[in-house]
């Protein structure tokens, strides 16, 4: 790994020497300077830490800690174990019950447990708000770069501006951004949605997921495939 390159991997504390990064498309297994496979450019995943064992005494994604790649300590705000609601006969997993109102909190819990010192992120609405909230719980400073031509999400930006650990800079690009959406450790936490669904409902024939860039759908289906065979996945925008 090029130690001079600025990437998310430079802020993880002695972790990438022990974690196994894998590409599910070409089979690459090894280190990387970013979240994409250095061989084919496909998003990387981090291999499970161990065999899945559910600790049902834990009321959060910590119940799946046996397969999550937490760092020296687990940073948790009670994310996960969101309830299943029925609306017109359709079962809906209510991710708005997470601490910042988003499934992003699952990924932030695992990722932030692996970092130290100030980190730099671009402003990406609920993703950045979640990262900053968990960083605040861990005593980590966040520098957020906001493109002045594409602000828009004023509610999230206002909440960020009130957080003591956040410094906001208005800049088109940012300088040496450390964390981006799609980091392998972030997706390691996101996959717990699939584990919970199987634990709460059992085998399902199909799941509908919202999609913007596809990371949620891809990581969800990979994790669900470890529990259920033959389930179909439908994604939708908007």
What is the structure's pLDDT at 218? 72
Report the predicted TM-score, pTM, of the whole model to 2 decimal places. Answer: 0.86
From CA 131, how far away is CA 226, in angstroms rounded?
27
What is the structure's pLDDT at 226? 59
What is the structure's pLDDT at 13? 36
Cβ count near 133 (within 10 Å): 23
Asked if residues 167 and 144 have their Cβ atoms less than 8 Å apart, the reply is: yes
How do 84-87 and 90-93 pair as beta strands? Answer: antiparallel
What is the structure's pLDDT at 35? 84
The per-residue pLDDT string of the chain (238 residues; one tens digit each, 9 = 90 and over) reads: 333 333 333 334 334 446 788 898 999 988 887 788 999 999 999 888 888 899 999 989 999 999 999 987 899 999 999 999 999 888 999 999 999 999 999 999 999 998 888 899 999 999 999 999 999 999 999 999 998 887 677 889 999 999 999 999 998 776 778 888 889 999 999 999 999 998 998 877 778 877 677 777 778 777 766 555 544 544 445 4
């Amino acid at each position: 790994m090029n130690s001079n390159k600025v990437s998310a991997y430079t802020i993880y504390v002695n972790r990438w020497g022990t974690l196994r990064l894998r590409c599910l498309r070409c089979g690459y297994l090894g280190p990387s300077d970013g979240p994409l496979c250095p061989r084919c450019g496909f998003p990387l995943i981090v291999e499970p830490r161990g065999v899945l064992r559910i600790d049902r005494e834990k009321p959060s994604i910590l119940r799946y800690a046996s397969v999550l790649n937490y760092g020296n300590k687990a940073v948790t705000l009670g994310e996960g174990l969101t309830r299943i609601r029925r609306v017109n006969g359709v079962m809906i997993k209510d991710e708005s019950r997470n601490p910042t109102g988003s499934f992003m909190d699952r990924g932030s819990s695992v990722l932030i447990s692996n970092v130290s010192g100030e980190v730099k992120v671009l402003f990406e609405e609920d993703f950045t708000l979640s990262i900053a909230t968990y960083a605040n719980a861990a005593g980590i400073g966040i520098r957020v770069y906001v493109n002045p031509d594409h602000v828009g999400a004023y509610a999230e930006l206002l909440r960020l501006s009130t957080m003591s650990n956040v410094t906001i800079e208005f800049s088109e690009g940012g300088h040496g951004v450390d964390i981006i959406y799609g980091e392998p450790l972030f997706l390691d936490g996101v996959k717990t949605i699939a584990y919970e669904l199987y634990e709460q409902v059992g085998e399902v024939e199909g799941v509908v997921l919202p999609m913007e860039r596809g990371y949620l759908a891809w990581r969800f289906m990979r994790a669900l495939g470890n529990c259920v065979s033959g389930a179909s996945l439908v994604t939708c925008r908007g």
